[in-house]
Structure 1
Amino acid sequence: MLTNMFKEENLIKYKSVVEKITNKIKNHDGLIRIITHNDADGLTSGAIIIKLLTRQNKKFHLSIVEQLSEDFINELGKENTINNIISKNESKGSDDHNNSNSVLYIFSDMGSGQINKILENNLNSIILDHHPTEINDIEIENILQLNPHIFKIDGSNEISASGVCYLVAREFGYYDLSVLAITGAIGDMQHLPFIGLNKFILNEGMEKQHINGILRDIIYNCYDISITDSILFSFNPYIKELKKREQIINLLNKYNIDPNKIYLDGEDKKNLEKALSSINPNYINELYVDRYIINHNEKDGHYLMELLNACGKNGNAQLGICTALGDENCIKEAKKLNYEYKLNIVEALNKLKLNHKDNFDYFFGEKGTTGLLAGLLAKDRPIMGINKDENYYKISSRGNHNLVSNGLNLTEVMKLTELFGGSGGGHSVASGGKIPIESLEEFLDWADDLIGEQLKNNM
């Protein structure tokens, strides 16, 4: 039961905010502005809200952003001021106090770290987020906030933003949206294994027969492409010895596996285990995964997550939303885009040059690839991937759960960008931000000192 996920004092608070959010949506007759993130978790979050609002016959407008910046929130504030003026003028002499010009803002996969700026702009808002909170309460003036951290639940591994959005959707009886919540959680690497509220959502999706099963299988069978391409494009496991097509084909032929085969079973799986063990026995530990078979036009949750991630990282988040919503033509286009994206990643990996500080490594890359590359390379040390964007450098910092257990907190590290006129935040294991170009070197020095302080007592 969901109630078992909360301690008694937090359960009362949770029920209160979910009821208020549900009523706020039901009773709102004007436009609803959805603001969501462009990664897989953000896109599934946005898709859940779209499905909910469509079924409730609500008017909505969607914006997908890479970062909820101060400038963007200020633009929303200006828009809101104009709408309020129109609303007041139209309501003069009318008994209708809930007219169509009022706007409700729903922030998904963002907002909890920007509440003060949202308050400054007087935005009537609902925040559905799983990042650390700026204000740890469910109701702040005209803002309702549903965030696991308020209830002493870890938003970095127990529930993602799409799961938070699902907690609202299930209040309307939309249990089928559990498939998107699970896909978003996979995108945020919260499936190894599913625990806490993620596990509850998974179980509820299976109970309601929207998630059809869990299949223990090799990771390469998640994707409807040849085993050669699956290995070439797979970054979990990341096999650095197999990042050229001819290397893969030679290895597969050596172990009697057809390089063009799309699905491996039986003897082929055993032969693949032998092939990978011949390179490094540790690769076998990452070869098998739980595949989540979902009621969606893309049946595999892993593959759907990959498609959404590729869309978001390549500046085509609209395609990602349509893919999440199940449009078959969009899914086909997303598969093409994902193929090209993975080719670019492989090429970038082969070109990448690491720079070293005392306590972390960093590299310069291209927009849309730095976060993934940093995640692949974050083994014994934290990694930062940096790309230039006009007058700023954007930074994706990545660690792993072992580093976090030893004190690493990349949220704190990326918050240092604010000292230099930038912005940043995220999770302890993965965080991002931006910083003025001229301040990068000084920021890297400060980050090096802070990471050293975080890890010195545990490493």
Structure 2
Amino acid sequence: MTGPVPELADRATACAEHLLETDRVVLASHIDADGLTSAAIAAQALERAAIPFETVFEKQLDADAIEAIAETEYDTVLFTDFGSGQLDVIGEYEDAGAFTPVIADHHQPANRDTEYHLNPLLFGIDGASELSGAGASYVLARALAEESDGSDGATVAADGGAAVATGATEPRADNRDLAALAVVGAVGDMQASGGELHGANERIVAEGVDAGVVETSTDLALYGKQTRPLPKLLEYATDVYIPGISNDENGALRFLDDLDLELKRDGEWRRWSGLTSDEKQTIASALVKRAVSRGVPATKIEQLVGTAYVLPEEPVGTELRDASEFSTLLNATARYERADVGLGVCLGDRDGALERARTLLRNHRRNLSTGIDLVTREGVTHEENVQWFHAGDEIRETIVGIVAGMAMGNEGISRSKPIIAFAAKNDDEVKISTRGTHNLVRQGLDLSVVAGEASRAVGGDGGGHNVAAGATVPKGNEDAFVERADEIVGEQLS
């Protein structure tokens, strides 16, 4: 078996062979969009291979969470979208014979390995930009299909049920239909650098296209093309700030009104997804012309266009059809303690789970908007190499990192420095989320190192990716963390 990522083929096969030899498995996964899609891919692959399993989600895979998983008395634990960074603790349970770990992850590994460890970083592939956790799960799923001789989806006792990834798609014996979820996970993990997916992610996209579950096209690189009315699509598009349109409701309306197009139907504004190719071209050309006239740099204008990743089996005009909007919907579930809802959507529940997810998404958007307004209004503190803010208990610790990333570029918040966000986790601990940009990463920034070293220097722990990482530290150590993080970032970018 070569699989979508040849470099991982042998390790994926070894992991699959072990899983097929087990009687049952605990599937443990992270709670963000990448974690949920990772779990959904693994769940369907296990089910189709007739391997009974139980699914658990963890906000953070700390020592207590690993101990709780060990107490389930399963002989094998499949970790998806985390586990690599916690191998030192996991290894203690493995050595004691508590369970055998199988890990499909893409985060920076701890200084220990295990036999069934599927991680792109072990094979020279960047886990922050070339393969997500969902991508690693997809590689494993493809190997499971190969090693189980194309199981046709026998029903087993699995909490996800027998539904498939994207509603209308029939299960495939080779598991290529699961590529759609892998693409959603990669996009949700901010791996679409420069407007498109790269490296091993591209190969998964190609398999999804061949399987008919993914379509790609060059399109306007704005969030909300499926669901937002045109004025809101433009008003909220701030990644490329266009004076007179971005963050300007009346300006966006005037811009659209000046175009010789029928952009309303039955008194309602149309959506980008419902426009013809000619209508899209007219609007895009006018946007570029406006950006040029207002002095937006050419490098920024280029970012107005990117690769769109569409799930063609999903209805036009729904958040499930666009990989970016799908990932946001998923982020709105588990971050509010409803991972079961997000998993249900990934597994094809288009009734109850989808409606609950949409309700959570509306709440999520309100919270994000409130959080961004708070950070922009209160401002950030600038050190020499980093900037930071402390939200206390005013922003949920599960979304403070998203808020930090979205606030970068707002007034007083630079995109030329990484941002550090603090939020209360409990009475004794503080959650830290760090966000950078791909441009800073190209200059040498590695927030995984920053979060890990700075947190451990003050009695905590952390890790993640070069462009985004997190940590937990004892309350009262925030200033010391910032001081050490500032030093490390200065060394990286010097």
Same fold (TM over 0.5): yes
Tell me: CA distance 1:296–1:110, structure 2 relative to 1, closer, same or farther (3 Å): farther
Contact 1:255/1:272 (<8 A) preserved: no
Which residue of the other structure, out of 307, 315, 329, is the alignment partner of 1:290? 307
Correspondence 1:205 to 2:181:
no
Correspondence 1:394 to 2:431:
yes
Q: Which residue does the alignment assign to 1:380?
A: 416
Query: What is the one-letter code of the residue matched to 2:333?
Result: C
Give the deviation of 1:315 after TM superposition: 3.3
Tell me: CA distance 1:4–1:218, structure 2 relative to 1, closer, same or farther (3 Å): closer
Query: What is the one-letter code of the residue matched to 1:203?
Result: A
1:19-98 aligned at under 5 Å gives the runs 19-30=13-24, 32-77=25-70, 79-80=71-72, 83=73
The 10-residue stretch of structure 1 (362-371 or 233-242) with the greater mean CA deviation from structure 2: 233-242
1:159-308 aligned at under 5 Å gives the runs 159-171=131-143, 172=145, 173-192=174-193, 193-220=196-223, 222-234=225-237, 236-237=239-240, 242-243=246-247, 245-246=249-250, 248-253=252-257, 258=263, 260-263=269-272, 264=275, 265-277=280-292, 281-282=296-297, 284-297=301-314, 298-308=320-330
Q: Which residue does the alignment assign to 1:448?
A: 486
Query: What is the one-letter code of the residue matched to 1:174?
Result: N
Query: What is the one-letter code of the residue matched to 1:372?
Result: I
Q: Which residue does the alignment assign to 2:450?
A: 413
The 10-residue stretch of structure 1 (222-231 or 104-113) with the greater mean CA deviation from structure 2: 222-231
Contact 1:162/1:185 (<8 A) preserved: yes
Tell me: CA distance 1:281–1:2, structure 2 relative to 1, closer, same or farther (3 Å): farther
Tell me: CA distance 1:15–1:351, structure 2 relative to 1, closer, same or farther (3 Å): closer
Supply the distance in 1 between the matched residues of 2:295 and 2:402 (Cα, whole angstroms).
Answer: 23
Q: Which has the higher contact order (CA 8 A, sep 6+)?
A: 2
Give the deviation of 1:455 after TM superposition: 1.9
Q: Deviations over 1:351-396 (max 9, x none)?
A: 3121122211111331243212322316111101111111211111
Tell me: CA distance 1:290–1:2, structure 2 relative to 1, closer, same or farther (3 Å): farther
Contact 2:29/2:39 (<8 A) preserved: yes
Which residue of the other structure, out of 298, 309, 324, is the alignment partner of 2:346? 324
Q: Deviations over 1:121-171 (max 9, x none)?
A: 2331100011111246551xxxx1001111111111111111111111112
Percent identity, please. 29
Which residue of the other structure, out of 374, 388, 391, is the alignment partner of 1:351? 374
Supply the distance in 2 between the matched residues of 1:103 and 1:150 (Cα, whole angstroms).
Answer: 25
Give the deviation of 1:251 after TM superposition: 4.6
Supply the distance in 2 between the matched residues of 1:343 and 1:280 (Cα, whole angstroms).
Answer: 32
Give the deviation of 1:296 after TM superposition: 4.4
Give the deviation of 1:266 after TM superposition: 4.3
Segments of structure 1 that go 5 or more residues without pairing to the other structure are 84-101
Query: What is the one-letter code of the residue matched to 1:345?
Result: L
The 10-residue stretch of structure 1 (242-251 or 406-415) with the greater mean CA deviation from structure 2: 242-251
Supply the distance in 1 between the matched residues of 2:227 and 2:43 (Cα, whole angstroms).
Answer: 28
Contact 2:231/2:252 (<8 A) preserved: yes
The 10-residue stretch of structure 1 (41-50 or 66-75) with the greater mean CA deviation from structure 2: 66-75
Q: Which residue does the alignment assign to 2:151?
A: none
Q: Which residue does the alignment assign to 1:149?
A: 121
Q: Deviations over 1:388-439 (max 9, x none)?
A: 1112111110111222222222111111212322220001111101111111
- Number of aligned pairs? 424
Segments of structure 2 that go 5 or more residues without pairing to the other structure are 146-173, 315-319, 409-413
Supply the distance in 1 between the matched residues of 2:402 and 2:373 (Cα, whole angstroms).
Answer: 14
Correspondence 1:108 to 2:80:
yes
Contact 1:233/1:342 (<8 A) preserved: no
Correspondence 1:430 to 2:468:
yes
Give the deviation of 1:286 after TM superposition: 2.7
Give the deviation of 1:218 after TM superposition: 4.7
Contact 1:410/1:431 (<8 A) preserved: yes
Correspondence 1:16 to 2:10:
yes
Q: TM-score, normalised by structure 2?
A: 0.78
Instruction: Give the structure with the higher percent helix.
Output: 1
Which residue of the other structure, out of 322, 331, 337, is the alignment partner of 2:360? 337
Q: TM-score, normalised by structure 1?
A: 0.84
Give the deviation of 1:174 after TM superposition: 0.7
